[in-house]
Chains A and B, each alone.
Chain A
Amino acid sequence: MALDQTTIERAGDELLDAYRGNTTVAPLRDRYEGIDIVDAYRIQEHFMNRRYAAGERIVGKKIGVTSKAVQEMIGVFEPDFGQLTDIMQIENGGTADLDKLIQPKAEAEIAFVLKEDLVGPGITATDVIRATDHVRACFEIVDSRIDNWDIRIQDTVADNASCGVFVLGEDKIDPRDVDLTLAGLLVEKDGEPVATGVGAAVQGSPPNAVAWLANTLGRLGMPFRAGEIILSGSLAPLIPVAHGDRLAAYIGGIGTCEVSFANGGAAALFRTQEAADA
């Protein structure tokens, strides 16, 4: 049985408090009996509505749970999605402030930027390529408001699909100019290879994930607009991050994206660097 509205709001408020207080809560699935994926999206909606009310603005979507490995781990054989807002974006080469994140990990992905609305159902990968202005390399720094990342699908969906912050690379590539299925990825941490992957790991090919999203949003009656940024799903396993790390993602035929991590943000990293140089 679906959770009632009061319960949905209570769960969403809990997540908002955790998000604002930089803390975690126990998994929702253990505490809200009968919670299903539909309930979880309603909780996400409440959680995000309160954030929009406080001034955040939607700039796009993220798609999660797109790889076979993660789907098997979580026991769900379709992706999920969350909302990207303006305050989540970090400029390319910028620094993610670890003090403002709880338990972040990095994922390297292919981002799509739409030039036309995509209104599902019935959207195919063909429609996605047609409606895409460009693709670019990106990092999504995922984060969880659930204790120790102890998540099942209901927990992560309610928690805005474990979205943290994101970084877009600068190169903008027309999807007609690259083989998205075979786009290879190398991630280096301070110059050492730490992760590799390929576009095919995302639902067979990244446009398939975007088509899934358009159709899912269409069914839910949610808009999917020209100009939105879509993070289409991780090409490689999650990468742990710590103060002082600098990550670079190279995606074949698409481009490069870079991000650093520091407690206290860029200023702190700068001070660390100066101390190291001195």
Chain B
Amino acid sequence: MLDAAVLDEMADIVAEAQAAPHTIAKLTEKHPGMTIDDGYAVQDRLLARWEADGRSLIGLKAGLTSKAKMEQMGVNEPSFAMLMRDMQDPEGSTIPTDKLIHPRVEAEIAFVMKDELSGENVTIDEILDATDYVQPALEVLDSRFEKFKFDLESVIADNASSARFVMGGRPRRPRDLDLRTIGLVMEIDGEIVATASSGAVLGHPARSIQMLVTWLHGRGRTLPAGSIVLTGGATEAIAVKTGNAVFARFQDMGEISVRIG
């Protein structure tokens, strides 16, 4: 584990790069001994600052949830990051990009929890029971690292490239759907740019929550009732630019439409 002073300094660097958007060098360049736990320790520091600024945590997200992405990064669990209330934009809105460097959009399934989840071995059934509803989501990612090139330690410290997110379409009860096989089509300016099935996330998007709750348990935490969880991109993340209209359709869950500002 790196010194507290080093972690504080990393949190400064990331917080500044997010607030006055600019790219930074990978954090591991200066501190090659940085670990994944160090990355999460930087996240904890970011949260403390953001909460001190009056911002509030509204949920958590999972990244690297496809087998291909995990293999690419050489890991066997997803990365997790924080969703703040002011990161959410309404369906049908124009997403502000003045704070974004090189945004990318991915489509995924969001869970809204009604009950707290805790423990090491929560089951898929328990997760579905604890879910208020599921809904289509678009996540706008933005890396503070040059050209989206990073290692796992650095990207976790950068709150896993979180930037903005949108939820929309039809809220559905999770047991009314087969969440392994929700087909998705994402279009930009009327052209299909990505197609997927919700099963691309670990075979079932609730498996992301399963791993999230286990990870939280390891840190002495739980997933609070009322949390939003973004379960991870079913599609790949596609680069967007100002003026793009992004449209995603989800089988039996409706659609989300936003414009990139």
Q: Which residues of A contact B (CB under 8 A)?
A: 179, 181-186, 188, 192-193, 196-201, 204, 250-253
Contacts and interface: CB of A to CB of B under 8 A. Distances in A.
Contacts of A204: 192
A199 B180 contact: no
Contact of B196 (A181, A198, A250, A251): A198
22 contacts: A179-B183, A181-B183, A182-B182, A182-B184, A182-B251, A182-B252, A183-B181, A184-B180, A184-B184, A185-B181, A186-B197, A192-B203, A193-B199, A198-B251, A200-B195, A250-B199, A251-B181, A252-B183, A252-B197, A252-B251, A253-B251, A253-B252
B188 to A, nearest CB: 14
Given A184-B180, A193-B202, A204-B192, 6 more contacts: A183-B183, A184-B197, A184-B198, A196-B234, A200-B195, A252-B197
A182 B67 contact: no
How would you classify the secondary structure of chain B's contact residues: helix, strand, loop or mixed? mixed
Nearest to B207: A193
B200 interface: yes
Contacts of A201: 195
A200 B195 CA distance: 7
B185 A186 contact: no
A85 B178 CA distance: 33
B80 interface: no
How would you classify the secondary structure of chain A's contact residues: helix, strand, loop or mixed? strand
Interface of B: 67, 178, 180-185, 192, 195-200, 202-203, 234, 249-252
B187 to A, nearest CB: 10
Contacts of A183: 181, 183, 251
A197 B197 contact: yes
Instruction: Give the top 5 A-B pairs by smallest Cβ distance, nearest first.
Output: A186-B199, A184-B197, A184-B183, A252-B181, A193-B203
A186 B205 CA distance: 12
A186 B67 contact: no
B67 A200 contact: no
Contact of B199 (A179, A196, A199, A200): A196
A198 B183 contact: yes
Contact of A252 (B178, B200, B249): B178
Contacts of B250: 182
Nearest to B186: A200
A196 B234 CA distance: 10
B174 to A, nearest CB: 14
Contact of B180 (A182, A186, A198): A186
B223 to A, nearest CB: 23
Contacts of B196: 184, 196-198
B184 A198 contact: yes
Given A184-B251, A196-B200, A250 B185 contact: no
A251 B203 CA distance: 13
Contacts of A181: 183, 185, 249
Contacts of A186: 180-181, 197, 199, 203
Nearest to B235: A198
Nearest to A205: B185
